[in-house]
Structure 1
Amino acid sequence: MSKILFNEHQQRLLEANLNVTSVSDRAIQYTAEFKIRAVKENQTGKGPKQIFEDNGFNLDIIGLKKAQSALNRWRKSFQTTGEQGFLEERRGKASTGRPKLENLSADKKLEKAEARIKYLEAELTLLKKLDELERQAKKKRF
């Protein structure tokens, strides 16, 4: 988490920027369009300082390190998911999460069921061994 804390005045200044969706006392949420534009500008050779200043940010408030680390995160995300990664939410309630069992084919359902049976059988075997060891330990005490 950031060591920089934004006061009320700084938060209002940052929220006035069209490239910002929201600001808390520690974090800034940027628009997807700004993230995409920033990554593309960075690929053409612009540095984080120039990109943020050209888009109306005061780096005295944000801090150059915060701008650099944000751009590094966005570049990684852009490489793995492309522009679409910024446009769709991948966390929280809006996340698609694990695939639903209803959407699986019959073969996949069977495969999952067999894997679960195998796991449960191994668990049962372990519990039986543990029970046997406990019984042996009780016999040795008496």
Structure 2
Amino acid sequence: MARGMLSSAEMDVLKKNPYVEDVNRQRILYIYEFKCFFMEQYLAGKRPVDIFRQAGFDVPMLGEKRIERATARWRAMYAANGMEALRGQVKANAKKKAVARTKKKAEDGDREYGLQDVADKLEELLADVKAYENRVRQLEKVTMELTDRMKVLEKRSNELVIEKEVLCKARRTGGEQNDNGCNNTELYQLIREAAEACPEYANVTKLCEALDVSARGYYSYWKR
């Protein structure tokens, strides 16, 4: 039974067969392992169509003529130089593909770009620029947040330094009225001195808490 050119559907079916290297409308290229398998089975006395059917091929789709031609070709190659001769065709096919890819690449390199090509490339570049700008904005936002956080931490660090200094002064001052060793009036004075010396970082509320006095008492005292 003769067959003509393969249809697109038939080509898709053949491409799924693991024994097929490549396929086009006129020709099917089989892998070296299948050719060896075919010859082993053929030499063992099996019919070519049965061997193809055993390998998962749809014999009516291929056509008996196509199978007969493949059989005659592989028999001649095997008779000339054994199984290794069957590999030569695979190498030749691979070389043809490599040459075709090289030729196509060269043609693409020599091809003149038209207005549509330029427009497509420009659109691609603009998309990249937009993505880059979005990323930059995100990084700027994160940088600002980190900067604000650093300012807060720096301010609190300076406040703690002042609180420590005031506590040290309070312990050096005489008196037995509270745990710091001095009375509230003396503590109010230490807080005020710190606030006047460093108004940017002297947190009166925090200083009052550190010296265990009331912030309300502090402000009331200085309003008298």
Give the TM-score normalised by the residue count of structure 1: 0.60
The residue correspondences of 1:98-109 to structure 2 (distance < 5 A) are none
Q: Distance in 2 between matches of 1:18 and 1:91?
A: 20
Question: Equivalent residue of 2:21, what SS?
Answer: strand
Deviations along 1:17-63, one digit per CA (max 9) or x if unpaired, are 00100110110000011011101110110011100000000011100
Q: Distance in 2 between matches of 1:47 and 1:3?
A: 19
Count of residues in correspondence between the two structures: 94
CA contact (8 A) 1:49 1:64 kept: yes
Q: Distance in 1 between matches of 2:3 and 2:53?
A: 21
Question: Equivalent residue of 2:39, what SS?
Answer: helix
Q: Distance in 2 between matches of 1:92 and 1:38?
A: 19
Question: Which one is further off, 53-62 or 77-86?
Answer: 77-86
Q: Distance in 2 between matches of 1:24 and 1:35?
A: 19
Q: Distance in 1 between matches of 2:5 and 2:93?
A: 25
CA contact (8 A) 2:3 2:65 kept: no
Q: Does 1:46 align with 2:53?
A: no
Question: Which residue pairs with 1:6 in the alignment?
Answer: 6
- Cα 1:31–1:47 shift into 2, 3 Å: same
Give the TM-score normalised by the residue count of structure 2: 0.39
Deviations along 1:78-113, one digit per CA (max 9) or x if unpaired, are 111211112235648959xxxxxxxxxxxxxxxxxx
Specify every segment of 5 or more residues in structure 2 that has no aligned partner in the other structure, as ranges: 97-224
Question: Equivalent residue of 2:18, what SS?
Answer: coil
Identity %: 24
Q: Does 1:75 align with 2:71?
A: no
Question: Which residue pairs with 1:35 in the alignment?
Answer: 35
Q: Distance in 2 between matches of 1:36 and 1:18?
A: 14
- Cα 1:65–1:86 shift into 2, 3 Å: same
Q: Distance in 1 between matches of 2:76 and 2:43?
A: 12
Q: Does 1:61 align with 2:49?
A: no
Q: Distance in 2 between matches of 1:81 and 1:22?
A: 24
- Cα 1:94–1:43 shift into 2, 3 Å: same
Kindly report structure 1 stretches of 4+ aligned residues shifted beyond 3 Å: 88-95
Q: Distance in 1 between matches of 2:93 and 2:65?
A: 27
- Cα 1:20–1:92 shift into 2, 3 Å: closer
Q: Distance in 2 between matches of 1:93 and 1:73?
A: 18
Structure number with the higher helix fraction is 2
CA contact (8 A) 2:3 2:66 kept: no
Q: Distance in 2 between matches of 1:83 and 1:93?
A: 18
